[in-house]
């Protein structure tokens, strides 16, 4: 005979009963929860595939996915930085063999990335003290994913339409905008560019800020910036951005582990096993895709994630109250 508490509100889910059948459940020591190993491997594969195909780290997809299966947000962010290191290394190797990495440009971007990460950590601290870090993270996701994704969506659809109508006037090969008048001009032989070093460094700095605040590699921002602002050859963009992401995500992993202890090695292991395998297939698939088709596909995914996050922000949550154990 079972009977209810007086406070029992009637509609709550019953806790799962123990089962004797063997399962694929794995206990995550830092997240302190048990997850289905196959599910996590699959998520890692999917994100790794996209990472290899588009040259984005896929962090912007992994954070919402991990939070969706119940991983605490801080641990989702810290752990995926770790798995992104592996995915980026394996992705860069594949691009490296095809000669698709501009190391010089990557190093200049990385210089800016270090400064950006430091600034991002500082901003993160301020938001945390104000007690609004959660909504700040969600809003920056919606803003960055929405604008970048929207711009890419428009541009790539236009490019595809132009391809289908060959009579249309072809755009100028190189448009000269004010950004190209900046000082500290540098020659990047591999990319056949002669541009100001401030430009790639600035892009790297914004990417570094995103690593610190949003816990992502920032590829979804770096890739279009490199295409549209630097006019870099499309084939080099993925490899070069991944090259830079290795270092920013490694730094993020170290910081997260040392200060917050939010890197779950077990979760990272599962994600990276799925991720490195997926990245290989992604790189192969990406090399067969036309540039504008790949951009259209990536833009669609980015916009979809932004819309989902915006929807969650504006729709009434099931429970207006949330509970956090611990001091904070």
Partner 1 sequence: MAGLSKRRLVQGAAALAGLLLGGTVAATVWAQQLVADLSSHLIAITTGFTGTEVVLFGTTDGAGDVAIVVTGPRAPATVRRKERVAGMWMNTDSLRFDQVPSFYTVAVSRPLDQLVGRPVLERHQLGLPQLQLPADATLPPEQLAAYRSALIRNKQRQGLYAISMGQVAFLGERLFRTNIYFPANVPTGLYNVEALLIRDGDVVSAQTTPLVVSKIGFSAEVSDFARNRPVTYGVAAVIGAIAAGWAAGAAFRRV
Rounded-to-integer distance, Cα 325 and Cα 170, Å: 60
Asked if 227 and 257 touch (Cβ cutoff 8 Å), the reply is no
What's the rounded Cα separation, in Å, for the pair 112 and 225?
14
Find out whether 245 and 57 touch, Cβ atoms under 8 Å: yes
Phi, psi of 322 (to 5 degrees): -125, 155
Looking at the Cβ atoms of 230 and 252, the one nearer to partner 1 is: 252
C-beta of 75: minimal distance to partner 1 in Å? 11
CB nearer to partner 1: pick between 224 and 275: 275
Closest distance to partner 1 from the beta carbon of 327 (Å): 6
* Contacts of residue 44, Cβ cutoff 8 Å, sequence gap at least 6: 83, 270, 271, 272, 273, 274, 275, 278
Asked if 130 touches partner 1 (CB under 8 A), the answer is no
Query: Is residue 27 near partner 1 by the rule CB under 8 A?
Result: yes
φ and ψ at residue 40, rounded to 5 degrees: -70, -40
Residues 64-103 that bind partner 1 (CB under 8 A): 82-83, 85-94, 97
Q: Find the shortest distance in angstroms from Cβ 170 to partner 1.
A: 37
Q: Which of residues 3-22 bind partner 1 (CB under 8 A)?
A: 3-9, 12-19
Residue 26 or 294 having the CB closest to partner 1: 26
- C-alpha distances in Å from residue 149, one per residue of 14, 106, 153, 163, 309: 40, 23, 6, 21, 14
Task: Report the C-alpha gap between 258 and 77 in whole angstroms.
Answer: 14
CA–CA dist 67, 60 (Å, integer): 12
Binding residues among 154-213 for partner 1 as defined by CB under 8 A: none
- When asked if residue 51 is in the footprint of partner 1 (CB under 8 A), the reply is no
Of 151-159, 205-213, 263-271, 301-309, the window that binds partner 1 (rule: CB under 8 A) is 263-271
**Shortest spacing between CB 227 and partner 1, in angstroms:** 25
Least distance from partner 1 to the Cβ atom of residue 326, Å: 7
Piece in contact with partner 1 (CB under 8 A), picked from 28-36, 111-119, 147-155, 285-293: 28-36
Residue 120 CB, nearest distance to partner 1 (Å)? 18
Q: Is 29 in the site for partner 1 (CB under 8 A)?
A: yes
Residue from 213, 222, 256, 303 binding partner 1 (CB under 8 A): 256
Report 270-309 residues binding partner 1 (CB under 8 A).
272-273, 276-277, 279-280, 284
- Angle between helix axes 59-68 and 198-214 (nearest 10 degrees) is 0
∠ Cα 322 310 222 (to 5°): 115
């Amino acid at each position: 005979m079972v009977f209810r508490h007086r406070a029992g509100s009637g509609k709550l889910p019953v806790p799962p009963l123990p089962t004797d059948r063997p399962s694929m459940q794995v206990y995550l020591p830092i997240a302190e929860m048990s997850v289905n190993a196959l599910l996590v491997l699959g998520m890692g594969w999917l994100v790794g595939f996209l990472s290899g195909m588009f040259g984005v780290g896929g962090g912007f997809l992994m954070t919402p996915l991990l939070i969706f299966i119940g991983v605490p947000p801080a641990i989702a962010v810290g752990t995926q930085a770790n798995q992104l290191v592996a995915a980026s290394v394996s992705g860069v190797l594949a691009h490296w063999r095809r000669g698709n990495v501009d190391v010089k440009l990557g190093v200049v971007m990385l210089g800016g990335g270090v400064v950006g990460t430091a600034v991002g950590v500082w901003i993160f601290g301020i938001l945390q003290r104000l007690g609004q870090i959660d909504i700040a993270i969600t809003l920056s996701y919606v803003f960055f994913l929405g604008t970048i994704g929207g711009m890419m969506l428009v541009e790539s659809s236009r490019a595809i339409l132009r391809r289908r109508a060959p009579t249309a006037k072809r755009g100028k090969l190189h448009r000269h905008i004010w950004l190209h008048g900046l000082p500290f001009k540098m020659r990047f032989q591999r990319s056949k560019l002669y541009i100001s070093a401030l430009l790639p460094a600035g892009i790297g700095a914004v990417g570094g800020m995103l690593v610190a605040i949003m816990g992502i590699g920032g590829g979804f921002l770096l890739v279009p910036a490199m295409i549209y602002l630097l006019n870099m050859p499309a084939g080099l963009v993925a490899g070069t951005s991944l090259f830079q992401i290795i270092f920013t995500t490694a730094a993020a992993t170290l910081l997260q582990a040392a200060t917050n202890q939010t890197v779950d090695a077990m979760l990272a292991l599962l994600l990276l096993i799925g991720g490195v395998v997926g990245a290989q297939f992604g790189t192969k698939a990406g090399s067969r895709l036309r540039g504008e088709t790949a951009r259209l596909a990536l833009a669609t995914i980015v916009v979809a994630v932004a819309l989902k996050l915006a929807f969650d922000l504006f729709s009434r949550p099931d429970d207006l109250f949330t509970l956090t154990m611990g001091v904070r």
